[in-house]
Amino acid sequence: MLIVVLSASGQTIFKEPLSPRIVTYKISVALDVVQKILNGKETLTWRNTSTDRVVELQFHLYLNAFKNTESTFMKESGGVNRGFELAQGGWGWVDVTSMKTADGEDLTGLIQFIHPDDNNEQDQTVIRVPLSKPVLPGQTIQLDIAFTSKLPRVFARTGYYQNFFMIGQWFPKIGVYEAAGQRYATKGQWNCHQFHANTEFFADYGVYDVDMTVPKEYVVGATGLLSNVKDNGNGTKTITHHAEDVHDFAWTASPSYVDLSDQWKHVKIRVLMQPQRVHQAVRYFESVKATLEYFEEHVGKYPYPNITIVDPAFGATGAGGMEYPTLITAGSMWGVGKFLKLAELVTVHEFGHQYWYGMVGSNEFEEAWMDEGINQYYETRIMDHTYGKETSAIELSGLTAGDFESTRTGYTGMHNPKIAPTGTLGWLFKQGGYGNMTYQKTAVFMTTLERLIGRPIMDTLMKTYFERWKFKHPSGKDFIAVVNEIVPKYHGNKFGKDLNWYFDQVLYGTDVCDYELTTIENKEVISPKGVYEKDGKKTTVGFTKDSASVAKTFESRVVASRLGEIKLPTTVLVHFDNGQEVREPWDGQSRWVEFKYRRPEKILWAKVDPDTTLIIDINLNNNSKTTEPVRAPIWKYTLKFLFWFQNALQLSGMIG
Partner 1 sequence: MRITRAFSSGLRRATAEPRMVLVLYIVNLLIALPVAMAFRSVLQAGFGSSMAPSTLMGSLDFTTWQDFITAHGDELSAVFRQIFWVMIVFMLINTFLAGGILTVLKDSRGKYTASSFFGGCGAYLGRFLRLLVLFVIVLLLVALLSGGIVGFVGQALTENATSELTYIWVQVAMSIVFMVPMMIVLMIADYAKVSVVLNDERSMLKSAWKSTTFVFRHFFKTIGLELLMLLVPILLFAAYLLIDLSIGMTSDLTIVLLMVFQQLFMASRAWTKVLFFEGELSLYGSLQPVVFSNVEGAGSSFVTEPVKL
Contact residues toward partner 1 (CB under 8 A) are 161-162, 164, 256, 274-276, 313-315, 333-335, 390, 397-402, 405-406, 408-409, 412-413, 605, 607, 618-627, 629-643, 645-650, 652-656
Smallest distance from the beta carbon of 382 to partner 1, in angstroms? Answer: 19
DSSP 494: B
| Nearest residue to 13 via CA among 180, 238, 242, 223 | 242
Report d(CA 115, CA 192) in Å as an integer: 10
CA distances from 526 to 531, 534, 548, 643 (A): 15, 20, 12, 49
Smallest distance from the beta carbon of 9 to partner 1, in angstroms? Answer: 36
Contact 246, 325 (CB under 8 A): yes
Smallest distance from the beta carbon of 283 to partner 1, in angstroms? Answer: 16
Smallest distance from the beta carbon of 217 to partner 1, in angstroms? Answer: 15
Q: Which is nearer to partner 1, 1 or 630 (CB)?
A: 630
Smallest distance from the beta carbon of 266 to partner 1, in angstroms? Answer: 35
Report d(CA 231, CA 219) in Å as an integer: 13
Report the largest interatomic distance among the alpha carbons of the chain, rounded to a whole angstrom. Answer: 125
Q: Which is nearer to partner 1, 371 or 516 (CB)?
A: 516
Q: Which is nearer to partner 1, 174 or 604 (CB)?
A: 604
Contact 25, 208 (CB under 8 A): yes
Q: Which is nearer to partner 1, 104 or 633 (CB)?
A: 633
Smallest distance from the beta carbon of 165 to partner 1, in angstroms? Answer: 13
Q: Which is nearer to partner 1, 188 or 410 (CB)?
A: 410
Smallest distance from the beta carbon of 252 to partner 1, in angstroms? Answer: 15
Q: Which is nearer to partner 1, 323 or 617 (CB)?
A: 617
Q: Which is nearer to partner 1, 72 or 412 (CB)?
A: 412
Smallest distance from the beta carbon of 229 to partner 1, in angstroms? Answer: 26
Contact 42, 26 (CB under 8 A): yes
The radius of gyration of the chain from alpha carbons, rounded to an integer in Å, stands at 31
CB atoms within 10 A of CB 76: 20
Contact 198, 434 (CB under 8 A): yes
Q: Which is nearer to partner 1, 180 or 639 (CB)?
A: 639
* Cα dihedral across residues 416, 357, 160, 1: positive or negative: positive
CA distances from 314 to 161, 307, 311, 328 (A): 9, 22, 9, 17
Stated length of the chain: 656
Report d(CA 450, CA 468) in Å as an integer: 20
Report d(CA 487, CA 588) in Å as an integer: 20
Smallest distance from the beta carbon of 196 to partner 1, in angstroms? Answer: 29
Reduce the DSSP state of residue 209 to 3 states and report it. strand
Smallest distance from the beta carbon of 33 to partner 1, in angstroms? Answer: 15
Q: Which is nearer to partner 1, 333 or 582 (CB)?
A: 333
Reduce the DSSP state of residue 573 to 3 states and report it. strand
Residue 492: which residues within 8 A CB-CB, separation 6 or more?
A: none
Smallest distance from the beta carbon of 219 to partner 1, in angstroms? Answer: 15
Q: Which is nearer to partner 1, 274 or 375 (CB)?
A: 274
Q: Which is nearer to partner 1, 538 or 631 (CB)?
A: 631
Q: Which is nearer to partner 1, 414 or 449 (CB)?
A: 414
Phi/psi of residue 438, each to 5°?
-75, -35
Smallest distance from the beta carbon of 59 to partner 1, in angstroms? Answer: 35
Helices (H) and strands (E) in the chain, counts: 11, 35
Q: Which is nearer to partner 1, 93 or 404 (CB)?
A: 404
* Cα dihedral across residues 466, 469, 473, 475: positive or negative: negative
Report d(CA 356, CA 113) in Å as an integer: 30
Amino acid at 112: Q
Smallest distance from the beta carbon of 558 to partner 1, in angstroms? Answer: 13
Q: Which is nearer to partner 1, 111 or 394 (CB)?
A: 394
Report d(CA 59, CA 175) in Å as an integer: 5
Report d(CA 119, CA 131) in Å as an integer: 23
Smallest distance from the beta carbon of 654 to partner 1, in angstroms? Answer: 6
Report d(CA 153, CA 649) in Å as an integer: 46
CA 243 to chain centre: 24
Report d(CA 72, CA 88) in Å as an integer: 18
Smallest distance from the beta carbon of 256 to partner 1, in angstroms? Answer: 7
Report d(CA 398, CA 400) in Å as an integer: 6
Amino acid at 184: Y
CB atoms within 10 A of CB 272: 24
Contact 498, 492 (CB under 8 A): no
Q: Which is nearer to partner 1, 546 or 628 (CB)?
A: 628
